[in-house]
Amino acid sequence: MSTWLVTGGAGFIGGNFVLDAVGLGVKVVNLDALTYAGNLDTLAALDGDPAHVFVQGDIGDADLVARLLREHRPDAVINFAAESHVDRSIDGPAAFMQTNVVGTLALLEQVRDYWKSLDTSERDAFRFLHVSTDEVYGSLGDTGRFTEDTPYAPNSPYSASKAASDHLVRAFHHTYGLPVLTTNCSNNYGPYQFPEKLIPLVIAKALAGEPLPVYGDGLNVRDWLYVGDHCAAIRRVLEGGRIGETYNVGGDAERANITVVETICRLLDDRSPLPDGSARESLVTYVRDRPGHDRRYAIDASKLHDELGWSPMVTFDEGMARTVDWYLDNAPWVQRVLDGSYRLERIGGVA
């Protein structure tokens, strides 16, 4: 049985990844600080399962990380832990530098020391996989797509902190020989996403019949990927990726923000019409744009496809329908998140 140390496994993508991994027979040690974005409810299905060991703690806590590595002897470390919301990084960049840069560095140092202590066959099999974002590449015009060779040009404090962490991961391979892999993925959506991000935010507001805030002219384009496909891509890279390489992960599903919002409106109108029968699209309200808002992201994932045979399995329409259905069926999960500190307020507009 493989053992993986997963960091940030109580968050959106990490939580989906942990649920899938345990389902596939992997033992997971899950280190998560349980910031506002971490939620143990997501992992409720694993309560009492000996294949899931949850530890509340910080990736920057060197003693704790060293102890977990020593005690559980993982074959791989997968690093999801991060501050992840661009708007929050505009209001308060320091927390992003602390976790995404300083925290990742501390984690890398402990993992390097652990890896060096392994015997030769264990050392050869070990992998450190760093989960990153396409936002490190900056913004595109109307054409072109990001490849693994696109120069880094991060535009927000969030993407700058992720870019810095990617560079540290790369440096730990080149300097110390640590067997690292990096994935740079496009925008994810699906079950268990914290309702400050576009899709769950719009679902929550549209269900409540509230105005649907759309930044700027609504024409910013993102490449959307269903979270289960991202998790499968990470497992593929972990199994077969070439050490030291980066792999772009994308859904080949570019959509303007306004199209995403309209899709949600139509799905909800079908499933749960408003009491007065009005179309939810009429709730769309254009609001002042996010400062420095990147115009377009698009991923060329052909390296991952050609080398490792990965393709997304879930189309945008199928994934959006699944996601809307999940939020309709899991109102208590959303309600418990909203009972916490976050109340769907606007953040990130201060610059």
Counting contacts by CB under 6 A, is residue 182 touching ligand NAD?
Answer: no
Query: Which listed residue (181, 185, 260, 334) binds ligand NAD by CB under 6 A?
Result: 185
Part in contact with ligand NAD (CB under 6 A); list of ranges 110-118, 127-135, 271-279, 331-339: 127-135
- Kindly state the tokens that stand for 220: 């910013």
CB 166 within 8 A of CB 136: yes
- Kindly state the tokens that stand for 161: 């902190």
- Kindly state the tokens that stand for 223: 């490449």
Counting contacts by CB under 6 A, is residue 304 touching ligand NAD?
Answer: no
- Selection from 29, 23, 26, 27 nearest residue 10 by Cα: 29
Of 114, 137, 158, 189, catalytic: 158
- Selection from 31, 33, 38, 73 nearest residue 53 by Cα: 31
Q: How far apart are CA 299 and CA 150, in angstroms?
A: 10
Counting contacts by CB under 6 A, is residue 187 touching ligand NAD?
Answer: yes
Counting contacts by CB under 6 A, is residue 231 touching ligand NAD?
Answer: no
Active site includes 306? no
Active site includes 49? no
Q: How far apart are CA 189 and CA 323, in angstroms?
A: 8
Least distance from C-beta 174 to ligand NAD, angstroms? Answer: 22
Counting contacts by CB under 6 A, is residue 168 touching ligand NAD?
Answer: no
Active site includes 149? no
Counting contacts by CB under 6 A, is residue 229 touching ligand NAD?
Answer: no
- Which CB sits closer to ligand NAD, 101 or 283? 101
Query: Which listed residue (115, 128, 172, 194) binds ligand NAD by CB under 6 A?
Result: 194
Site string for ligand NAD, 22-51 (x = CB under 6 A): ---------xxxxx-xx-------------
Counting contacts by CB under 6 A, is residue 188 touching ligand NAD?
Answer: yes
Question: Which whole-number Å values give the CA distances from 65 to 54, 61, 202, 206, 330, in the listed order?
Answer: 13, 6, 37, 42, 33
CB 102 within 8 A of CB 60: yes
Least distance from C-beta 63 to ligand NAD, angstroms? Answer: 14
* E-strand stretches of the chain: 3-7, 27-32, 52-56, 76-79, 127-133, 180-185, 187-189, 212-215, 221-226, 246-249, 254-256, 284-287
Counting contacts by CB under 6 A, is residue 87 touching ligand NAD?
Answer: no
Which residues contact ligand NAD (rule: CB under 6 A)? 7-8, 10-14, 31-35, 37-38, 58-60, 80-84, 99, 103, 131-133, 162, 185, 187-188, 194
Catalytic residues: 134-135, 158
